[in-house]
Chains A and B, each alone.
Chain A
Amino acid sequence: MNARLRELESEAIFIIRETQAAFKNPVCLYSVGKDSSVLIHLIAKAFFPLRPPIPLLHIDTGFKFPEMLEFRDRRAAELGFQLTVHRNEEAIAASMNPHDHGIGACCGALKTQALLDALEQGGYDVALGGARRDEEASRAKERFFSHRDALGGWEPRSQRPEPWFHFNTRLKDGESMRAFPLSNWTEADIWDYIAEEGIELVPLYFADVRQVKRSGEQLIPLVNTEESGEALSIRYRTLGCYHCTAAIESTASTLDDIIAETATATLSERSSRLIDHGVSTMEDKKREGYF
């Protein structure tokens, strides 16, 4: 492993162990994407040769790609993790969706509210996540340990100082923390590390001929629908809900292809995530309790 990846790995392992040591009841938010696949691999490494002592939590919006759900259950079991799945059943039963209610309301109910409910029900005081500073401008401002008030909200104007890995991890009743071991990793680091470590990913990251529909400049996947579209060689650069995750045209079907494609991409990683580009930004969602 090259020195850069090794330094990032060691930093991430430290944050993971700190999360386990400094809090009463940690959990790891597992989104099944590439970053959280790297994160759970690092959790397994952080405690090797012991079993990973931190359970996984998946927030299922009901709009996840079927391939993600199959992969989630299998990988969690293979790596020896306990897995809890939480859904906002009330909103799902009421047919919450981004087309009728708007992306902000849909994310608010199916992701943010579901996450806050799941954390409260589980009594978790800290949640690990795979977010990276390099992804998005408000995430570039995140600490390794990000304090959340009793309502789960983020206050970016009064973040805690973190000098020399001396983390102020103290919490009052009801407050909680988010922990981001991959803070300093870039998209390229994630792919290099996946290749180096042979980490298995959901096949949707690799190019294949799939059904999609054009919507402006975006290619929207066709999943669980009778609608017909066109068959194109596409892949996903990031994975979220199928309504709001655009595909990119690509023939990159191997890790080497993807590493080469990422290096020369003209658009940034999350340009295909509709959630980042509405009236309500990532910062607004984080203030409300989004990861």
Chain B
Amino acid sequence: MSQILRIAIAGSVDDGKSTLLGRLLHDTGSLRVDQISKMKKVGASKGLQIDLASVTDGLKAEQEQGITIDVAYRYLDLAGRRVIFADTPGHEQYTRNMFTGASSAWASLLLVDAVRGLRDQTRRHSAIAALQGHQHLVFCINKLDAVEYSQTRFEELAAQCQTLADQLGIKQITLLPVAALNGANVVERHSSLAWFKGPTLLETLQSLSAQATHNAPSPISIQSVLTEHDQGQTQRLLSLRFSGQPLKVGDALQDAHGNSLSIKRAFAGGQEVETLQAGLDALIEIDREVDLTRGDWLFRQPPELSNRLDVTLCWLGQQIGQTRQNVVVRHGDQWIRGRILEASPAIDLANLCYHESYESMTPNSLHRVQIQLAKSVPVSAFDQDPVSGSCILVDPVTDQTLAAGVINSNMFTQEP
């Protein structure tokens, strides 16, 4: 569970993502004097008073081209609460970077250009946010200043965003008119938007509730086995990652072969503890010698194991992926040889449903595939357990990351 508000900013190219973030940081007084003077300097070279986007577009290639290539992370404190923004790129070719940024977040700001309306990228990014289990989408209908703050235009686009969210099964959404360029309805209200009775973007962020937690007895992945030999004694500890219910000293667990064991001692944050909360830094000592290594799993109830994964994935490789292709799969903390099996329909972004069957995966598209694995693993639906419910696919020859996917997703279930 995250106390920190982790938000991805997404949407199509030039819908104003970096500008909106720059505006938010600027108007909340979160920028330092030297950062503001740099933004003014960059702005002057483009005939602008201030270049708000330059605060996040930190690479030379980005500044030269005025685009975002890779995700940038920015930090903001709102009334005592930390917010981490992942400002993601809008270009289709950088979808892999958008996917990384979105995976670090649990809510999204989706930008829509009021002039151009919803684009394929708006739908692709919304679908990725939904696939990754984002619980809240904030649609910012931006550039309202360019359509004379038209309430009609806002309502037309807001209705389309609502339909999109309904298709994706996202229940919590907020629809906001904003103008990042002049700051209307970002931090301050604006007289031209007097017809809008809803919140500002800042108020929306302040009211987002904390990330929902899972409470299942989820499988526990062994990240590493740590040993130390001292005066004839060997200490052996297991570092773990898991979601769901906490673990306690004395809890009975079993390995994949059905061997029983229990937790003898537990450590987190550099101290001995009685209870381990779900998360990333649990360390345990177990009560007996069992053959366990990095990537093995421990279970709190008899596991369901499978050597076939049903994965809805985003193809992140730069070459077209083929069915029957060999891959290595990182699932939990292990690498397993695998093969992509035949059926892999691409998802039609316009209608958010499956195309007829495809035999290949094109870069930056979403597909549902079956993967055969060289060994059996515990399989959970991503929304029940993100640890055993997600994976990445890597090319065994080039080491390039080919795809990232969630397991047993119930999205895109309707036929075209």
Q: Does the CB pair B60–A281 fall under 8 Å? A: yes
Nearest B residue (CB) for A270: B34
Nearest B residue (CB) for A1: B269
Nearest B residue (CB) for A267: B34
Bound CA–CA A6/B65 (angstroms) = 39
Q: Does the CB pair A163–B392 fall under 8 Å? A: yes
* Most chain B CB neighbours (cut-off 10 Å) among A141, A156, A271, A281: A141
Residues of B within 8 A of A6 (CB): 269
Q: Does the CB pair B3–A7 fall under 8 Å? A: yes
| Stretch among A14-22, A63-71, A111-119, A122-130 lining the B interface | A14-22
Q: Does the CB pair A48–B404 fall under 8 Å? A: no
- Asked if A9 meets B267 with Cβ closer than 8 Å, knowing A141-B72, A184-B73, A268-B35, the reply is no
Q: Does the CB pair B58–A161 fall under 8 Å? A: no
Chain B, 226-284, CB within 8 A of any chain A CB: 226-228, 235, 237, 239, 241, 267-272, 279-281
- Asked if A49 meets B281 with Cβ closer than 8 Å, knowing A140-B73, A161-B401, A283-B58, the reply is no
Residues of B within 8 A of A136 (CB): 58
Does residue B4 face the partner (Cβ distance < 8 Å to A)? yes
Residues of A within 8 A of B77 (CB): 188
Residues of B within 8 A of A11 (CB): 280
Q: Does the CB pair A166–B390 fall under 8 Å? A: yes
Residues of B within 8 A of A18 (CB): 223-224
Does residue B316 face the partner (Cβ distance < 8 Å to A)? yes
Q: Does the CB pair B237–A50 fall under 8 Å? A: yes
Residues of A within 8 A of B4 (CB): 4, 7-8
Does residue A75 face the partner (Cβ distance < 8 Å to B)? no
Does residue A157 face the partner (Cβ distance < 8 Å to B)? yes
Does residue A77 face the partner (Cβ distance < 8 Å to B)? no
- Asked if A10 meets B280 with Cβ closer than 8 Å, knowing A140-B58, A168-B401, the reply is yes
Does residue B324 face the partner (Cβ distance < 8 Å to A)? no
CB distance from B211 to the nearest CB of A (A): 11
Residue from A133, A172, A268 in contact with B32 in the complex, judged by beta carbons closer than 8 Å: A268
* Most chain A CB neighbours (cut-off 10 Å) among B61, B268, B294: B268
Q: Does the CB pair A10–B281 fall under 8 Å? A: yes
**Interface size of B in residues (CB-CB distance below 8 Å):** 61
Nearest A residue (CB) for B404: A163
| Stretch among A39-47, A198-206, A223-231, A252-260 lining the B interface | A39-47
Q: Does the CB pair B270–A162 fall under 8 Å? A: no
A-B Cβ contacts below 8 A, count: 158
| Stretch among B94-102, B302-310, B340-348, B371-379 lining the A interface | B94-102
Nearest B residue (CB) for A282: B58
Does residue A265 face the partner (Cβ distance < 8 Å to B)? yes
Residue from A20, A137, A140, A166 in contact with B224 in the complex, judged by beta carbons closer than 8 Å: A20
Residues of A within 8 A of B135 (CB): none
Q: Does the CB pair B228–A51 fall under 8 Å? A: yes
Q: Does the CB pair B281–A162 fall under 8 Å? A: no
Residue from A21, A45, A156, A265 in contact with B223 in the complex, judged by beta carbons closer than 8 Å: A21
Q: Does the CB pair B100–A162 fall under 8 Å? A: yes
Residue from B59, B228, B268 in contact with A156 in the complex, judged by beta carbons closer than 8 Å: B59
Q: Does the CB pair A172–B399 fall under 8 Å? A: yes
Does residue B69 face the partner (Cβ distance < 8 Å to A)? yes
Bound CA–CA A9/B279 (angstroms) = 11
Q: Does the CB pair B59–A141 fall under 8 Å? A: yes
The proximity string for A residues 197-223 relative to B, scoring 1 for CB distances below 8 Å and 0 otherwise, is 000000000000000000000000000
Does residue A82 face the partner (Cβ distance < 8 Å to B)? no
CB distance from B146 to the nearest CB of A (A): 28
Q: Does the CB pair A164–B399 fall under 8 Å? A: no
Does residue B171 face the partner (Cβ distance < 8 Å to A)? no
CB distance from A268 to the nearest CB of B (A): 4
Nearest A residue (CB) for B82: A4
Residues of A within 8 A of B99 (CB): 161, 163
Chain B, 383-412, CB within 8 A of any chain A CB: 386, 390-392, 394, 399, 401, 404
Does residue A248 face the partner (Cβ distance < 8 Å to B)? no
Bound CA–CA A143/B401 (angstroms) = 14
Q: Does the CB pair A184–B392 fall under 8 Å? A: no
CB distance from B130 to the nearest CB of A (A): 15
- Asked if A140 meets B74 with Cβ closer than 8 Å, knowing A21-B223, A161-B392, the reply is yes
Residues of A within 8 A of B103 (CB): 162-164
Q: Does the CB pair A268–B34 fall under 8 Å? A: yes
Does residue A88 face the partner (Cβ distance < 8 Å to B)? no
Does residue B202 face the partner (Cβ distance < 8 Å to A)? no
Bound CA–CA A143/B99 (angstroms) = 13
Q: List 26 A-B contacts (CB under 8 A).
A: A7-B4, A9-B281, A10-B279, A14-B241, A17-B223, A18-B223, A47-B226, A48-B270, A50-B226, A50-B227, A134-B75, A136-B58, A137-B57, A138-B58, A140-B56, A143-B100, A157-B59, A157-B61, A161-B100, A162-B103, A163-B132, A164-B390, A166-B330, A168-B392, A170-B399, A184-B73
- New contact pairs (5) apart from A21-B294, A283-B58, CB-CB < 8 Å: A4-B4, A10-B281, A50-B237, A163-B132, A166-B390
